[in-house]
Chain A
Amino acid sequence: MLIAVGSLAVMGLALGGVLGVAARYLAVEENPIEAELQAMLPGSQCGQCGFVGCAQAAVALAKHEAPVTLCPPGGKALAVALAAKLGIKADLSGVADTGPQLATVAEEICTGCCRCLKVCPTDAIIGAAKQIHNVIREACTGCGACVERCPTEAMTMVPVPITLQHWVWPKPVVAVA
């Protein structure tokens, strides 16, 4: 009996030691889910979630410290995807989903003050002092940062127009038997 107890104790100590060493040398410095979450976020660092950027938001999401509905540009679709990734049920009641949006300049109101282009996280607005500004649609993420900065309310958010290239056949409606 002593031999059995002894050998098991030795084995336990040895394997415990191995695990201890492994935990020290093979430690994962960053939660791998953080990188995955960051890849899902828009990446425009607009700061509307209250964090400095998307990376910080991803860290908070991974720790379940922030709600999945934190990203306004991502909308409902992103909230659902994040909830699926984190394996939690999302409360979507608070999300006012307007669908993907784009910033547009009302050219007759724009004074060419250049304030909007300084806050655009993706440099999607072009313009110069006292020249009418314009938005490059392909680069706009719809974060809305420019709308708050505009002194003349010339910046507005409009839904992304549906074109022939974007239109998708609707899913057939299944009659419930």
Chain B
Amino acid sequence: MGLIERFFKEPRWGVHPDDHKRPAADAPLRMLPPPARLYMPLHQHVGGAARPIVLVGQKVLKGELLADAQGNISAPIHAPVSGTISAIGEVTAPHPSGLGFAAITIDNDFAGRWIETDPVSDPFALAPEEIARRTGKAGVVGLGGATFPAAIKFALGKRLQVGTLIVNGGECEPYLSSDDRIMRDHADQVIDGARIVMHAIGAREALVGIEDNKPEAIAAMRIAAAPFPEVKIRPVPARYPMGSDKQLIQTLTGKEVPADARAAEVGVLVHNVSTCAAVHKAIRLGQPLVERIVTLNGGAVKTPGNLFVPLGTLVDELLDFVGRVATPARLILGGPMMGTPLLHGRIPLVKGASGILAFDAQEALIPAAGPCIRCGSCTRACPMGLLPIEMAAHIRAGDLDGAVGFHLSDCISCGCCAYVCPSHIPLVQYFSHAKGELMTKERAKLRSEATRRLAEARVERVERETREKAAAAARRKAERDAAKAKTAAAALATTPVTQVEGEIA
């Protein structure tokens, strides 16, 4: 019976790569001594970049606000150490293009002095809106990698009356173990954070989904969640991409999120375990998000493991601390399936960085792509039920609209298709290219519409100005004429009087 149950329960989608999580996951958490200089990027989240509110030369304390949120969707940035602002300029972004973005440079004074915090002893007495406000002010964003501002998600969950909070402890990407580590070492923080989030969104229950390849984390979380019956620990089968919200929701609740819809619309909201721990710190301790756990792993790392590091630390400094076996052949921010390739190590750590992978030559090897043999492996692996084979063929031929017809917009770029492809075709790159091109097209369309409106507004303005000028000229002429008529009338009126006076005299 067990076998049959297992056969039916095991998801049919996805892949099962070697997880490479141990020994890094089992190594105890280490603290990185804060470096002498840190670079705090202004754009570490989805939405608008933060607006700097500090000046060069200014002294700041740890946790002090450096840049404020700007726009509807944005998050503030805080100082990860105490020290002096030495520059506000460009640094290389953790992005495949290697382009730069704005960052605030802080010279560490090694005093480690925190700004005065405002802890809350009983968050459940606070209004849900107040929890969202405090979380937003603390700069908490989704730490699983999506970096969506958490407070905005709270408001969404509250508005759509979400009944279930799903706490994502899937961490399905190979090599990474930062979520595993936070569940093992700080299970109480995660559970407390999850309960605060439940209060903020008005959820009745929380389901913590943890892949069954992390038995230590499951045990630790079960102990921490024991006093709270509304928080349920649910081990899920280890299968990539279980940590993707749509797949985790389906596995835990049986509900499928429709295309072009958000998870909240099926009555659930997903938050990562690390985000929950950050919410706990933001509310209970009043501490903004300035530090996180990062996995350092890969064949080129001498002592793989998890580090507790201040944000804004350079990747090179992390690698110096853990040691290199060889010069890394490739650096990746995030996991090997969906992570971002880094061109060099002089890139600061951002809020969404769950891991830094330094691969040796053998791990970094990319086999040459061959022609598609139409085996259909990618179709079987796709967790979204798409046809990668057809989408890639259309994109290769330059027919982007054809690819959209095969629901390119539902692709989550998880990389399962490219992983199983026997011809090693870079399928995800095709999809990323097409999504980028389509977005560029969409932006151009919006732009030309805006241009047209501007041009029409100008024509209207020029016409109005000519009209107004003509009207003003006519008015002035009328005034002049009136004045002339008045003086003439006055002259007429005065003459007879003198005549009369003359006559009297």
Residues of A within 8 A of B (CB): 42-45, 120-124, 138-139, 141, 162-164, 166-172, 174-175, 177
Contact = CB atoms under 8 A, between A and B. Distances in A.
A6 B433 CA distance: 67
A163 B100 CA distance: 8
A122 B430 contact: no
6 contacts: A44-B454, A123-B457, A139-B451, A168-B433, A169-B96, A177-B371
Contact of A44 (B395, B429, B440, B451): B451
Contact of A123 (B95, B425, B439, B461): B461
Q: Binding site of B, secondary structure by majority: helix, strand, loop or mixed?
A: helix
Given A122-B454, A123-B457, A166 B440 contact: yes
A164 B99 contact: yes
A168 B396 contact: no
B455 interface: yes
A167 B429 contact: no
Contacts of B430: 171-172
Interface in B394-429: 395-396, 425-426, 429
Nearest to A118: B462
Contacts of A124: 454
Given A169-B429, A169-B432, A162 B451 contact: no
A170 B448 CA distance: 24
Given A45-B459, A171-B395, A174-B396, 6 more contacts: A44-B451, A45-B455, A123-B454, A168-B439, A169-B436, A172-B369
Interface string B432-453: 1100110110000000101110
Contacts of B459: 45
B451 A43 contact: yes
Q: Binding site of A, secondary structure by majority: helix, strand, loop or mixed?
A: loop
A170 B432 CA distance: 9
Interface in B362-403: 368-369, 371, 395-396
Given A123-B461, A162-B99, A168 B452 contact: no
Contact of A169 (B99, B101, B425, B433): B433
A139 B451 CA distance: 7
B225 interface: no
B117 interface: no
A167 B99 contact: yes
Contacts of B396: 174
A29 B425 CA distance: 52
Contacts of B458: 120-123
Nearest to B97: A167
Contacts of B207: none
Contacts of A168: 433, 436-437, 439-440
Given A164-B97, A164-B101, A172-B369, A122 B432 contact: no
Contacts of A166: 440
5 smallest A-B Cβ distances: which pairs?
A: A168-B436, A43-B452, A122-B454, A169-B432, A167-B97
A43 B99 contact: no
Contacts of B440: 166, 168
Given A164-B95, A164-B97, A177-B371, A172 B433 contact: yes
A138 B443 CA distance: 11
Task: Find the residue from B99, B430, B459 having the highest chain A CB count within 10 A.
Answer: B99
